[in-house]
Structure 1
Amino acid sequence: MRILISADMEGATGVTWTGDVVPGTEQWQRFRRLFTGDVNACVTGLLVGGATGVVVNEAHSSQRNLLLEDLHPSAVLLTGRHKPLSMMEGIRGDVAGVVFLGYHTGAGAPGVLAHTYLENSITGVWLDGVPASEGHLNAALAAEYGVPVLLVTGDNLTCVEAASTYAPSVEFVVVKECVSRYAALCLPPAVTSERITAAARTAMASAGQVRPSPTAHRIEIEFDASHLADAAALVPTVEHLGVRRVGFDAETMTDAMKAFKVVTYVAAGAVEDVYG
């Protein structure tokens, strides 16, 4: 059975602030190792649990953060930007389960480095009327391909959100407890690695294709400034819903996520220096 790991960085062991995850900083170099350690611990558990192959999709920022030279030798790394399905590239085909590793809560919610795609310009995202994080959006996409979510790792609030919305019956590993957006009570890597490996091994009991559930979806997005909504509304099918809010409908979750990606690119391009 082939398993996909969608690996984000904000929810990795020890990460608490901007410099930890921004490429090029001294702290980023340090936390790349811890991030890779979380991934390797997960790969180990999945293989012990019966996985026959593991694909790790880089899902953070430049999507070139994990250290290939230190990656578990039984995994393969999908790295680099401009993937059609972004954080969920690799979900097609014979994938028997997906792990959301290093995930975080969504824009407007409490949690360590909480955001949805754009770090600070989006204040809320709704999927079919329900507040949605990246995990929620990605779980809906996985369901469209009949792929179950097996495991979620991140801060405690990320795991609470997943359990109450998009992944109520999966394994969870809390690697840190949120104190504020930029502070957390962090467990050391020796502890989190052991817990991630154990949870991944257990999670493999739930692996296996399920019935795909393609359906139409609606996504709404609220920005922190009116000109970002104006820019997003230039995208065909996207409509103004308010001064700072836009929305669009899509026949499938795949189309919805492709449109969401375009909207965030356009909005990000409209941000100007310190005034946003």
Structure 2
Amino acid sequence: MKILISADMEGATGVTWPADVLPGTPQWERCRTLFTSDVNAAVLGFLDGGADDVLINEAHSTMRNLLLEQLDERAQLLTGRHKSLSMVEGVQRGDVDGIAFVGYHTGAGTEGVLAHTYLANSITGVWVDGVPASEGYLNALVVAEYGVPVVLVTGDDLTCEDAKGYAPRAQAVAVKDYVSRYAAVCRPPARTAADIRAAAREATALAVREAPRSGGPYQVELEFDAEHLVGAATVVPGVQPHGERRVVYTSPSMYEGIRCFKAVTTVVAAAVEEQYG
């Protein structure tokens, strides 16, 4: 049995502040250990549950944050950019039985610790066929096309609530409780590691590959915090203006949808000025 762990950082134990996840800062260096602890706990739990292969795909920022030397020697780490399927790279290989979203967070424009969707700012909302979409929601649609179930989600308490909408059977572990975008009531790492390990062990039973599912075509809509970003985004073929600060595009599958989304966010990030956005 093979498990893929998609590991993001904003939803990790103890993380509440931008500097906690910004590569190169002292706080990021400190929080790398907490992040690695959460991921390692999931690895240990899946191995406890009977998995014989665990691949971790780094999904945060530069995708070079986890401390390889602290991970269980039976796991493997896919680290670095750039990847065809970004946060869920590896699922397309056809040998993954279940996926875990570790360290995830809520989406842009919603409540949640460090809530955002792909970009830390600029994007104020994302919808798929009219439904508000977090990164977890988007990635769940992608992996469903490969018949891979989401079996575990960790993050703040609101992230666990969000997961009920896209992975209702998955085990969920809240490592902190939302207070504001930059504040949370945090559990200590010894406690969260035990909770994640126990949940991952239970989640292993859910890792049963399913028939590939696609609800496409999908209509994806993005809203930005500044009008000029619409002009930037519509450089991407197929992306059309949809109101003063919105764009929309349609993709036949979420495989293509997430790749277009990645292209849009890359172009938009390059169009943001330091002072005026």
Q: TM-score range by the shorter chain?
A: over 0.9
Query: What's the secondary structure of 2:97's corresponding residue?
Result: strand
Q: Deviation of residue 148 (structure 1)? A: 0.2
CA distance in 1, matches of 2:73, 2:219: 40
- Deviation for aligned residue 1:243: 1.1
| TM-superposed deviation, 1:38 | 0.5
In structure 2, runs of 5+ residues without a counterpart are none
Residue aligned with 1:157, SS = helix
- What's the TM-score, normalizing by structure 2? 0.98
Map residues 168-183 of structure 1 onto 2, 5 A cutoff.
168-183=168-183
> Deviation digits for residues 198-246 of structure 1, max 9, x if unmatched?
0000001111110101332111000000011111012110010011100
The reply on whether 1:185 has 2:185 as its aligned counterpart is yes
- Looking at structure 2, the residues matched to 168 and 150 of structure 1 have their Cα atoms a distance apart, in angstroms, of 9
Matches within 5 A, 1:1-276: 1-92=1-92, 93-163=94-164, 165-214=165-214, 215-276=216-277
d(CA) in 1 for partners of 2:209, 2:143 = 10
Distance 1:229 1:74 in 2: 46
The whole-number CA distance in structure 2 between the counterparts of 1:224 and 1:202 is 41
Equivalent pairs counted in the alignment come to: 275
Runs of 4+ with deviation above 6 angstroms: none
**For the residues of structure 1 that align with 2:104 and 2:275, how far apart are their CA atoms?**
27
Distance 1:189 1:94 in 2: 31
What value does the CA root-mean-square deviation take over the aligned residues? 0.6
The share of aligned pairs that are identical, in percent, is 63
Structure-1-length-normalised TM-score: 0.99
- Deviation per residue, 1:77-103 (Å, 9 max, x gap): 000011010001001211000000000
Unpaired runs of 5+ residues, structure 1, are: none
